[in-house]
Amino acid sequence: MRVTITARLALLAVTMTLATSLLLIGFIWQQSHGDAINELRRDTIEQSDTLTALWRSGGMPALRQTISNSVGAGDRAMIAEVVTAQGRRIAGQGPLAPSVPLTRDRFRIGKIAQSGQWSEREAGVAIQPVGQFWLINGHMLDDVQHAQRTIERALLLALGLALILGCLGGWVLTRYVTRRLNRIANVAEAVTQGALSHRVGAPKHSADSFDRLGRQMDGMLDRVNALVAELRLVTDSLAHDLRSPLARLRTHAVTAAKADDPLERDSALTALISEADMMTRLLSTMMEITRSEAVPADSLKPASPLSVVQELADLYAPVVEEHGLNFAFHGEVQASLKIPLHRQLLSQALANLIENAMVYGKSGDTVELTIVLNGGEVRIEVGDHGPGIAPEDHDRALSRFGRLDGARTTPGAGLGLALVAAVARMHGGRFELRDNMPGLRATLILPAVG
């Protein structure tokens, strides 16, 4: 059976709590045990040195008297005795026949007797020669072991509390994670069932990972919703805009097929070709918009925007003048400035703007092409002095198939400005329309840094 993510999170929380508690308990136990042994070692060595010094100054009688006084204090765990070289006690308190080897030893831990009460537990002792005898002093580990058992009981209690707290923390963690994930999963489930309006609603400025995931999902859903709405608009508009050309195509084809007069037949075929060309341009522009929206960012290559605009100026200057208009180019960008560009799509977008200015400009007016660097942005502007577009119609003019009333009598499908806007977005920029007083000034704005 597969373990759920929430169960694994809870198990991880409990495991980490237990591991941390065990490490801490082990460290405390080791430290307390070590401190107790070190204290016993220090006291035993100090007592051994004191008794040895007393023996040197007062001899065996003074040593016996001091040991007798110490034993008389009533500490039954204390060891202080004098034994012969054969290992028999002659004075003091301790095993009658100690089992430790009679060699000089500042401190050692172990059993000091083979039988009797002194053999039941370990002791920490020092062994020093005093003349022809041996001095053994120290202490049974009763107090140390008792203290250790007390500490162990306290640590076991702490471990139990840590386990309870770990389980509680794991439960709280899994509840929190499950709630946050369920919120996102519920939105995903609703979207799967077709409810594209559902959103996670994460705070905008939160650095929480779940909130970041929620914001990314909301942004993705906004984009999907926009694409679905745009797809619906495109299909509806294509169906509407292609209905009339297709009907005219059929009419011209039928006329050409039935015509007996060669001139009438040629006229019908010419009209048919014109309608087919218009449909081809419409579909080509749609493909260009789709292509610009599908171009990955890494396909943009560093290039000079001035060189792209200069090439278009050289290409369109004579064409504009043939239409009875003047052409003016003005550039304030260094040729050395290079930014990530898609030269072909950018050229197509600017060509659309220049051709629009030619269509709507009046004879004798000037079509202006300008490129400037302003505030970290490259601004490419195309201006004319035609009828312009009212500010309230700017958004509709930038939408696909956005045909304004004043443009109904001119050929086209209302995709030119939509292509320019798509190319601007592809470059991480934006596209703006404003009044040229009179006329229209279209501005393609690109970031000046890659």
CATH number at residue 358: 3.30.565.10
* Domain CATH for 111: 3.30.450
Cα–Cα distance, 129 to 168 (Å, whole number): 61
Cα–Cα distance, 384 to 348 (Å, whole number): 18
pLDDT, position 416: 62
Residues 318 and 282 in one domain: no
Range of the domain at 111: 5-145
Structural domain contains residue 183: no
pLDDT < 70 stretches in the chain: 1-6, 9, 73, 230-231, 233-245, 278, 281-298, 394-416, 450
Which DSSP symbol is given to 406?
A: G
Residues 65 and 134 in one domain: yes
Q: Can you give the pTM of this predicted structure?
A: 0.45
| Alpha-carbon dihedral angle through residues 58, 60, 63, 67, given to the nearest 10 degrees | -160
- Is the distance from CB of 87 to CB of 78 less than 8 angstroms? no
Single residue among 129, 145, 161 that ends a domain in this structure:
145
Residues 58 and 81 in one domain: yes
Residues 118 and 134 in one domain: yes
Which DSSP symbol is given to 414?
A: S
Cα–Cα distance, 106 to 126 (Å, whole number): 5
Cα–Cα distance, 447 to 429 (Å, whole number): 6
Residues 414 and 388 in one domain: yes
Residues 249 and 351 in one domain: no
Residue 338, sorted as left (phi over 0), alpha (psi -120 to 50) or beta, turns out to be beta
- The residues facing 421 across adjacent strands are none
The C-alpha R_g of the chain, in whole angstroms, comes to 48
Structural domain contains residue 372: yes
Cα–Cα distance, 403 to 222 (Å, whole number): 25
Residues 28 and 125 in one domain: yes
Structural domain tally of the chain?
3
pLDDT, position 408: 38
Residues 58 and 129 in one domain: yes
Structural domain contains residue 280: yes
Of the candidates 432, 431, 429, the one whose C-alpha atom is nearest the C-alpha of residue 450 is 429
Cα–Cα distance, 107 to 233 (Å, whole number): 94
Residues 22 and 126 in one domain: yes
Residues 275 and 364 in one domain: no
pLDDT, position 342: 84
Residues 366 and 268 in one domain: no
**What b/e sequence results for 418-430 when a residue is b if at least 16 CB atoms lie within 10 Å of its CB, and e otherwise?**
bbbbbbbebbebe
Residue with the two structure tokens 């690109």: 446
Cis peptide before 438 (omega within 30 of 0): yes
pLDDT, position 371: 92
The number of residues making up the chain comes to 450
- Is the distance from CB of 256 to CB of 271 less than 8 angstroms? no
Residues 282 and 359 in one domain: no
pLDDT, position 18: 76
Structural domain contains residue 35: yes
| Alpha-carbon dihedral angle through residues 375, 377, 383, 387, given to the nearest 10 degrees | -90
pLDDT, position 239: 62
